[in-house]
Amino acid sequence: MTKRGRVILHVDMNSFYASVEAAHDPSLKGKPLAIAGNPQERKGIVVTCSYEARAFGVKTTMPLWEAKKCCPQLIVMRPNFDRYRQASKAMFELLRSFTPHVEPVSIDEGYMDLTEILGETSPIELIQKIQDQILRELDLPCSIGVAPNKFLAKMASDMKKPRGITILRKRDIPAIMWPMPAQAMHGVGKKTAKKLETIGITTISELAHGEDLQLKALLGINGKRLKDRANGIDDRKVDPDSIYDLKSVGHSTTLPSDVTNQSELIGILHKLSEKVSLRLKAKSMLGYGVSVMIRFKDRKTITRSIMLKSPIASIDELHSVAKSLFLTHWDGTPIRLLGVTSQELIERNQAVKQLDLFNYEEDAKHEPIDRLLEDIEKRYGSGKLKRGIQMNRKSHKSSAQTSFSKEFLQDHE
């Protein structure tokens, strides 16, 4: 990298949850350890695992019974998110001791821009110091990618784990990055990779040299963006405030006349939840919080919110929570306005179902149905078709949960 170019780091904590547990209890060091949603149930799923466990073939999202079959001596622990939040807070505070240009992107990874603090010195000594200090002070390993932009830094940090430091320059792209499978590129998931295969693109090189119109027809505006990334083009700045950019998505409606009919009001909440869900999915976002706004006949307005254990975006989940909030706080007074808002948003590909990983299996089961419903909504308008079993489900009162995501965000305000 030239001295005039940007020096961007992507700091990625290695096997974060398992590493935090080993730092908390040194007797776990060097042992195969898995963090799982419910160790007591065969349906429990591995959230993350130590590198010692990975050596036996244990993988993230693997069912516990399968993980134990791969590694009979596997140590299984439930997640302790308060402990992980505190470790994350300490890690980002340490990064900010080097530069204020730190952008958290999730609990265990973030970007740093070292351009302004390097001067004439080589970055490698400073980067090594950052990695060593995180290990020395927090007893946590990390890998660091170094590049002239965020995308290449992210790609670089994945190339050497654990405790790697990888420099990826633009001139290195043809030799290092282009021979890799397209799906190995950050931003290309399984579904996108399968779409690319239909037009003969299987490597990052083929994507980098893809035809613009063909990519746009296949992937929309994302096609050109992915081609740029494959060529190492990324002008995004390291923005410490970007984590707060999109905080909520909501819809409200003023009723033509004051309403007291409960079933009618619940129907309105469903329509509002439907609109919020479609916007969330269009933005590939999930929300940890749901709020309901109620304006009464006398214009008195109240807003009631709840934080959830796991982020949601589906119509039925949003409606269930909104309905519960509404029924809990409505006293029968005539209503003139209702609103539903999804809050504390997170990108879908960054979201982790943090407590009840059985929901992960449930979502996977319903995803094809949800996609079909979305297609029908787009073609024929809202309200044409509903998922019947879900519509007949009895509502249940939600108890307030402490949102791990919310606390993580508050730590960085």
Chain Cα centroid distance, residue 225:
20
CA 299, 305, 311: angle at the middle one, nearest 5?
140
8 A C-beta contact, residue 32 and residue 58: yes
8 A C-beta contact, residue 269 and residue 251: no
Distant-in-sequence, close-in-space partners of 26: CB < 8 Å, separation ≥ 6 = none
Distant-in-sequence, close-in-space partners of 278: CB < 8 Å, separation ≥ 6 = 374, 377
Output the six-digit token pair for 24: 């908390």
Is 25 assigned a ligand-binding role in the annotation?
A: no
Is 132 assigned a ligand-binding role in the annotation?
A: no
Catalytic site positions: 109
Parallel/antiparallel/unpaired status of strands 285-296 and 335-347: antiparallel
CA 183, 104, 164: angle at the middle one, nearest 5?
60
Rounded CA-CA distance 177/70 in Å is 32
Output the six-digit token pair for 153: 């830094």
Measured CA distances, 120 to 10, 72, 83, 298, 375 (Å) = 21, 53, 39, 67, 55
The dihedral over CA atoms of 96, 98, 101, 105, expressed in degrees to the nearest 10, equals -50
- Summarize the annotated binding site for Mg(2+) as residue ranges: 12, 108
For the annotated binding site, the residues are 12, 108
